[in-house]
Amino acid sequence: MADPKVVLITGGDSEIGRTSALLLAREGARLVLGGHRIWEGEETAWLARKDGGEAIFMRTDIANEEEVRMLINLAVITYGRLDAAFNNTTAEGRMAPLSQQNAADFDSLMNTIVRGVYLSMKYEIPQMIKNGGGSIVNMGSVAGLVGVANAAPFAASQHAVLGLTRSAALEVARQGIRVNVLSPAAVETRVPEGFPSDEARMQGQYATESPIGRACRPEEIARAVLWLCSDFSVYFTGQSLTIDGGYTAH
C-alpha cells in the first residue's frame, strides 16, 4: 500500500479473513478485526502483530447493530479514522431444492449476510465521508451473478449483497468512496471433520465445473482485497470483481 491505511475486517476469525488480514498487515495496514469466535479472532490479531503489524480484535455479532457500530467506533477511537473495510460476512446454506428448504434457514442467511453487509456499510460510510473518501469491499459469491440450483436462499442473499453494493456505490461515488463486491466461486478452505457435508460438496462441484479445474484459494481473495483497498483501484467502483477461474464464462 502506498501509505498506511486503517482497515476494518469483519470475519477476521475466518480463514479468508485471516489470510487477508495478514497480507494487509505485511503491506503496512493498521487493522481492526471483528468476528464471532474470540480465540480465532485474537489469534489473527496476534499473528498480524507478530509480523510487525498493528491489529486489534473485538468480538462482534455482525447482525447486531449496536455491536457493529461499536466495532467501527473502535477503529476511529484507536487510529483516528477508517480508510477501508472488508465486509467478510459469510454463512453456509443447506443444499436442497427450494421446496425442501427451511424458512428458518432462509431467515438466518438473510439476517447474517444481508443485514451484516447493510449494517457494516451504514456505519462505515459516515466515517469515510469525514475522511474525504475510502474503499469498501463486500464479500459476495458467483451465486450473486447466476442462479444456483439447490441453493436458492444462498443465491438470493448474494444477489442482495450485489444490489446493496451497487446502490451504495452510486450514492457515495462523489464523496470519494468506492464500493465493490468480490464474487468468487467456492473457496478452498479447510472443512473441519464433522462439518455439514454440503460445504465440501459445493467446493467439489465448483472445482469440477471450473475451467481451471479447482476452487479459489484464500490467498487469491486476499490479493484482490489488497488491490481494492489500495490507491491502485481508484477508478473501480460499483463492480463485481469475479474470481471464479472462468466459471461464469460458460
Q: Can you give the pTM of this predicted structure? A: 0.93
Q: What secondary structure does DSSP assign to 69-118, as a single string? A: HHHHHHHHHHHS---EEEE----PPP-S-GGG--HHHHHHHIIIIIHHHH
- Per-residue pLDDT of 95-140, as tens digits, reads 999 999 999 999 999 999 999 999 999 999 999 999 999 999 999 9
Q: What is the pLDDT of residue 213?
A: 86
Summary mean pLDDT of the chain: 92
Using an 8 Å Cβ cutoff, are 241 and 183 in contact? yes
Q: What is the mean pLDDT of residues 162-185?
A: 98
- Hey, what domains does the chain have and what are their CATH numbers? 6-243 (3.40.50.720)
- Banded model confidence at residue 169, pLDDT cuts 50, 70, 90: very high
Surface-to-core class of residue 237, CB atoms within 10 Å of its CB (0-12 exposed, 13-18 middle, 19+ buried): buried
- Per-residue pLDDT of 191-204, as tens digits, reads 544 444 555 666 66
Q: What is the mean pLDDT of residues 46-75?
A: 97
Instruction: Please state, for a pLDDT cut of 90, what percent of the chain lies above it.
Output: 80
Q: What is the pLDDT of residue 2?
A: 54
Q: What is the pLDDT of residue 195?
A: 44
At residue 51, does pLDDT exceed 90? no
**Residue 214 DSSP code:** S
